Structure 1
Amino acid sequence: MTQKIIIDTDPGQDDAVAILLALASPELEVLGLTTVAGNVPLDLTSLNARKVCELAGRPDLPVHAGCDRPVARDLVTAEHVHGKTGLDGADLPDPQMSLADGHAVDFLIDTLRREAPGTVTLCPLGPLTNIATALNRAPDIAERIQRIVLMGGAYFQVGNITPAAEFNIYVDPEAARTVFASGVPLTVLPLDVTHKALTTRARNDAFRAAGPVGQVVAGWTGFFERFDMEKYGSAGAPLHDPCVIAWLLRPDLFHGREINVEIEVDSPLTRGMTVADWWRVTDRPANALFIGDVDADGFFALLTDRIARF
């Protein structure tokens, strides 16, 4: 039985790899993509999402453009990491497919109301603006969502855009607060786990040997890793967003615990911090499965195998 998912995304090289992983996996039925401003502005995330769909041979997949700015703040982007296009590292042709009619938030609401309750999982890979806007506009959908599996936040690893905050949560902390307080079952793939899923020369070579799509992926990861290698002195870069899809496919590769996570929105010093009660030192009820570890070799074996199927 396939799992129905909607991917909410701001491609981004690692978003693109996550989308490819999902589209290469028969266990998942991708109902559509919704785009949000994040790594780059909305016009580019919407363009990039369609490029990835066509690379995967899925021009039929609906791509709905969503929110072009956070709920209550100015947009912060990450061209310094992803390049001016968001997909620097491999040149892809402009897509022939058009954006689907209708706003991403409307697509989320309509789809969740149409599908049977508890059958659709949302997979946000960027700022949570679209998801929070949908929940605020249509509170009835919360009980219809099977689970939200998201990439964002940190605990031990702390921040990658500020000393205290991970990028996706920092960009729209008000949206993140809405999602974490929604009562929807959450799985969170934070920096603590994604920084254990590092590209290496051998892993990039394996992508490159995995066929034409794998060569594109290797181009993306080769570009993407230069920033993190210089910043952290690591052997490669964390492949953040594919961890979301990998958790759906192989949760046995990951380990975490059910904890309480609150989002800091007021402090200028710690805006966007995920205050994760990993040691359960408060009496606040758990609201998220917070993942802390991954079998990196198993993760990359899964990813390489699926990319080779295109």
Structure 2
Amino acid sequence: MAQKIIIDTDPGQDDAVAILLALASPEIEVLGLVAVAGNVPLALTELNTRKICELAGRPDLPVHAGCAAPLERKLVTAEHVHGKTGLDGIELPEPAMQLRPGHGVDFIIDTLRREPAGTVTLVPIGPLTNIAEAFRRAPDIVARVGRIVLMGGAYFEVGNITPTAEFNIYVDPEAARIVFRSGAPLVVLPLDATHEALTGRDWVEAMRALPNRCGPAVASWTDFFERYDREKYGSQGAPLHDPCAIAWILRPELFEGREINVEIETQGEFTTGMTVADWWRVSDRPANALFIRHLDRDGLFALISERIARLP
């Protein structure tokens, strides 16, 4: 049976590729998508989510708007990476599909209560605000979550928004702390793994040559996305962070990591948003996450290529 998931997202070019990967995969049933403020404000992330669904030929999917700001902080965004729309690189038409009524947090709560316990995976690929707020409003749903597979955090690679913090966790560290301490099973795709998912020119041009509309869109997003990483890191490509979360669900054998304890720093003078990952198990804190350290880059991109080719 297909794995039922809810995608919680703040598109973002790499979010867009993650959504396309999920929608192209028969092993996954996307129950709905919830937008969150993150890479850009909520008005743009919910719009971008609907644009991506229409691009993939799935205007039937429920898309809900979630939280417009972190639980306790002012929103930090990343237009410097993703452009003013969050999806710079190709201009997509205004979507005909409408937002579904109701708050995205309520959609998460209602879905987890409706579906059999343990059958729904939450896939947050932006800040964890919506998930934490759902857990705060409805503590009973935590035990009903099959697992949470999230993109966020870092350990060996340290930060990409501060010297010690990865963007998704930094935007709402209080939310991240709630989720990491919830007791729900966690799989964490941090920068340590996702920085191994570097695009390359051959792959981008292969996407551009696909005889569908999704492949060239992915190529255009990647063209835009790569320029930031080339300037910042001197790399030849850009890491596709968020597709790694979907790929783990599809092909966990492409990844390696270990069960460790991860705590979230919320008050450090220089370390707010840091994922304090006890990789070497030097504390006595119990493991609360499968923390991924490495991935098979060639296997990952072969999977993405094969699936994107299936789309309209």
- How many angstroms does 1:160 deviate by? 0.1
Partner residue of 2:114? 114
Q: Between the two proteins, what is the percent identity of the paired residues? A: 75
Residues 68-109 of structure 1 deviation map (CA, whole Å, 9 limit, x = unaligned): 000000000000000000000011000000000100000000
After superposition, the C-alpha distances for 1:229-268 in whole angstroms (9 at most, x for unaligned) are 1100111110000000000000000000000000000113
Which structure 1 residue ranges, 4+ long, deviate > 6 Å from structure 2? none
Counterpart AA for 1:185? P
Output the TM-score relative to the length of structure 1: 0.99
Three-state SS of the structure 2 residue aligned to 1:98 is coil
The equivalent residue for 2:9 is: 9
Q: Deviations over 1:32-84 (max 9, x none)?
A: 00000000000000000000000000000000000000000000000000000
Question: Counterpart in 2 of 1:237?
Answer: 238
Q: Could you tell me how far apart the structure 2 residues matched to 1:207 and 1:158 are?
A: 31
Distance in 1 separating the partners of 2:267 and 2:207: 42
Aligned match of 2:177 = 177
Cα offset for 1:209? Answer: 2.1
Q: Say which SS state the counterpart of residue 107 (structure 2) adopts.
A: helix
Worse-superposed segment, 156-165 or 200-209: 200-209
AA aligned to 1:232 is Y
Matched with 2:251 is 250
Q: Distance in 2 between matches of 1:129 and 1:210?
A: 36
Give the 3-state SS of the residue equivalent to 2:279 in structure 1: coil
- Number of the residue aligned with 1:269: 270
Mapping for residues 24-35 of structure 1, pairs under 5 Å: 24-35=24-35
Aligned mates of 1:125, 1:64 — CA distance in 2: 15
Secondary structure, counterpart of 2:227 in structure 1:
helix
Q: Within 2, Cα distance between the matches of 1:264 and 1:21?
A: 32
Is 1:55 matched with 2:43?
no
**Cα shift at 1:300:** 0.3
In the TM superposition, what are the counterparts of 1:135-174 in structure 2 within 5 Å?
135-174=135-174
Q: Structure 2 stretches of 5 or more lacking a match? A: none
Deviation per CA, 1:126-155, whole angstroms, max 9, x where unpaired?
000000000010000000000000000000
Aligned to 1:73: 73
One-letter amino acid of the counterpart of residue 308, structure 1: A
> Quick one: distance in 1 between partners of 2:214 and 2:56?
8
Q: In the TM superposition, what is the alpha-carbon distance from 1:210 to its structure 2 partner? A: 2.5
- Aligned equivalent of 1:279: 280
Instruction: Write the distance in 2 (CA, Å) between the matches of 1:90 and 1:27.
Output: 29
TM-superposed CA distance for 1:116, in Å, is 0.2
> Aligned residue pairs: how many?
310
Report the Cα distance in structure 2 between the residues aligned to 1:206 and 1:142, rounded to whole angstroms: 42
Q: CA separation in 1, counterparts of 2:101 and 2:294? A: 39
Question: 1:300 — aligned with what?
Answer: 301
Q: 1: distance between equivalents of 2:214 and 2:61?
A: 18
- Of the structure 1 ranges 127-136 and 210-219, higher mean CA displacement relative to structure 2 is found in 210-219
Which residue number corresponds to residue 90 of structure 2?
90
How much does 1:292 deviate? 0.4
* Mapped partners of 2:164, 2:135: distance in 1: 26
Question: For residue 48 of structure 1, what is the amino acid of its counterpart?
Answer: N
Q: 3-state DSSP class of the match of 2:256? A: strand
Show CA shifts across 1:3-53 (max 9, x none): 000000000000000000000000000000000000000000000000000
Report the alpha carbon displacement of residue 161 of structure 1 after superposing the two structures with TM: 0.1
Cα distance in 2 for residues equivalent to 1:9 and 1:267: 27
CA contact (8 A) 1:210 1:304 kept: no
For the residues of structure 1 that align with 2:226 and 2:142, how far apart are their CA atoms?
36
Per-residue CA distance 1:181-222 (angstroms, 9 max, x = gap): 000000000000000000111111121122321000000011
Q: Distance in 2 between matches of 1:160 and 1:231?
A: 10
Whole-Å separation in 2 of the counterparts to 1:305 and 1:85? 28
Per-residue CA deviation, residues 150-190 of structure 1 (Å, 9 max, x unaligned), is 00000000000000000000000000000000000000000
Distance 1:8 1:198 in 2: 23
Instruction: Give me the whole-angstrom Cα distance separating, in 1, the residues matched to 2:2 and 2:37.
Output: 29
Q: CA RMSD in A?
A: 0.5
For 2:193 and 2:238, locate their aligned partners in 1 and report how far apart those are by CA, in whole Å.
12
User: What code does the residue aligned with 2:106 have?
Assistant: D
TM-score, normalisation: structure 2: 0.99
What letter matches 1:173 in structure 2?
Answer: P
Hey, what does 1:187 align to over in structure 2? Answer: 187
Q: 1:130, 1:279 → 2: CA distance? A: 31
